[in-house]
Amino acid sequence: MSVQNTPSPTDGGSPYAATKKAYPRFLNAGAFRRLKWLALIVSLGFYWIGPWLRWDRGPGAPGQAILVDLPGRRAYCFGIEIWPQEVYYLTGILIIAALLLFFISALLGRVWCGFACWQTVFTDLFVWIERLFEGERAQRILLDKAPWSANKLWRKAGKQICWILISILAGFGFIGFFDDVHLLLRDLLTGEAGVSAYAAMAVIGGCCYLLAGFAREDVCIYMCPYSRFQSAMFDEHSMIVSYESWRGEPRGPVRGAGRGRPAEQLFAERGHCIDCRMCVQVCPTGIDIRDGSQLACIGCALCVDACNSMMDRVGLPRGLVSYDSSFNQQARAAGDMSSSSPMARPRVYIYLAIIGLVAILMAYSLMTRKTFDVNILHERAPMYVEVSGGRVRNGYTFKILNMVRGPGHFRLTVEGLNKATMSVIGVDGDQMETVDLPVDGDSVGTFRMFVTAPNASLSGKKADLTFALTNLDTGKVVRRDNLFAGPER
């Protein structure tokens, strides 16, 4: 499908021309306007309420349901706790998110840009506040042109104060996911929070203020790479916002005596577009959708709501500006009013199958995830020590990760090395065939241990051996291969 590479709505087509400020008319009604409100409430609700949700993980554990604990190197999401070595879960989430974006774009076009992207959501909120203080589109244009006065000053100042407050909240909402939000709020208010907390809040809040307050949809047109490559994901069955020119042209206003005539007579020999420009006035990027699909269109569908309301007024069917696939639009232009579902193609099912597969793999991996792990490092200086009785001793450093809240009890044995015995510094006993190692809950136990074996156990300079660590609480066993070094024989 073709998309005009129009860099900006109001710059005459040059990518270097300065953009002109858009003054979108605010729509109170319409199905897509209501969907935008819903997306705004859900996404900002999650953003601002998310850090305050609680989740009981037992004593000593963070009680915040969603938390990225950078100092503790842990991430929490309700009952799931991710350790640094399990970062592959993040990879899985990113893969699912990317596939979902492909799937939704192939199906519903730029629905992410128009409804759910946080740039769109915050811009929507900022424009709504602007309208509260400065009035509707025409009043805002007049106010900007008017000389400074007390009236202009309080309206502009009121808007800026609200924007700054929201930006501060945006910054706080973000850092609230990275620290205990109750303590963080107290520390921020008393000036006791760390410099990094104030700096992160300033950066996020500053970006929110500049991008949503001033740059607005220019971010979507000029800065966001997604708009540049997403048309590659579209095909003729993807839903897009477009003007049905076969029905709308030749356009023209309804004037004079024509106003009183029935719609069938009035529009019998002309197009249905009454050239009211409502679709242009509500557009946040200020483009005219009647010029064709353009990169500057973020797919918010507000022009669909605007045109539908005009069609209702003049008694014509809705859908002159429609949110539909180009396949259906072309079929209607050819007189075929049946419509095909965007789901009716193999591509969307392939996306769904891959998303389902990755989700099942992740769920399986989460359900069967290890509750403990072990890392073993063979000491190299020296590689071995010859001890009395024709025996050789090797040193190892053990790190046992106990990933549950309660204390862990582990039993270590050596396999594959004849007559091997162990001793662990700090653990009672010497030359043992098995060693019991306790590790505190939710922590890493580090042990230095020695394995001793007769020189005769080695056939050369080294032998293979396996450490088997059994979790006595669950019965699960982890095995790690290593080597045992000795003198040349």
Q: Min. distance of Cβ 26 from ligand SF4 in angstroms?
A: 12
Q: What track of x and - describes contact with ligand SF4 for positions 310 through 339 (by CB under 6 A)?
A: x---------xx------------------
Q: Which stretch binds ligand SF4 (CB under 6 A): 297-305, 354-362, 387-395, 414-422?
A: 297-305
Q: Which is nearer to ligand SF4, 169 or 224 (CB)?
A: 224
- Give the orientation angle of helix 150-175 with respect to helix 118-134, to 10 degrees: 150
Q: What track of x and - describes contact with ligand SF4 for positions 227 through 266 (by CB under 6 A)?
A: --------------x-x----x------------------
120 binds ligand SF4 (CB under 6 A): no
Closest CA to 439 of 414, 465, 473, 416: 473
Beta strand 408-415 pairing with 434-439: antiparallel
What φ, ψ does residue 318 adopt, rounded to 5°? -70, 170
Confirm if 437 and 447 have CB atoms less than 8 A apart: yes
Q: Which of 106, 266, 306, 435 binds ligand SF4 (CB under 6 A)?
A: 306
Q: Which is nearer to ligand SF4, 82 or 310 (CB)?
A: 310
Place of tokens 């605010």: 26
Q: Min. distance of Cβ 242 from ligand SF4 in angstroms?
A: 9
Place of tokens 């232009």: 333
Separation CA 179–CA 339 (nearest Å): 51
Closest CA to 24 of 38, 10, 11, 35: 10
Q: Which stretch binds ligand SF4 (CB under 6 A): 228-236, 268-276, 420-428, 479-487?
A: 268-276
The SS3 call for residue 5 is coil
470 binds ligand SF4 (CB under 6 A): no
Place of tokens 């106010």: 143
303 binds ligand SF4 (CB under 6 A): yes
274 binds ligand SF4 (CB under 6 A): yes
201 binds ligand SF4 (CB under 6 A): no
| Total of chain residues touching ligand SF4, rule CB under 6 A | 29
Q: Which stretch binds ligand SF4 (CB under 6 A): 38-46, 141-149, 303-311, 469-477?
A: 303-311
Q: Residues in the site for ligand SF4, rule: CB under 6 A?
A: 241, 243, 248, 273-279, 282-285, 287, 289-290, 297-303, 306-307, 310, 320-321
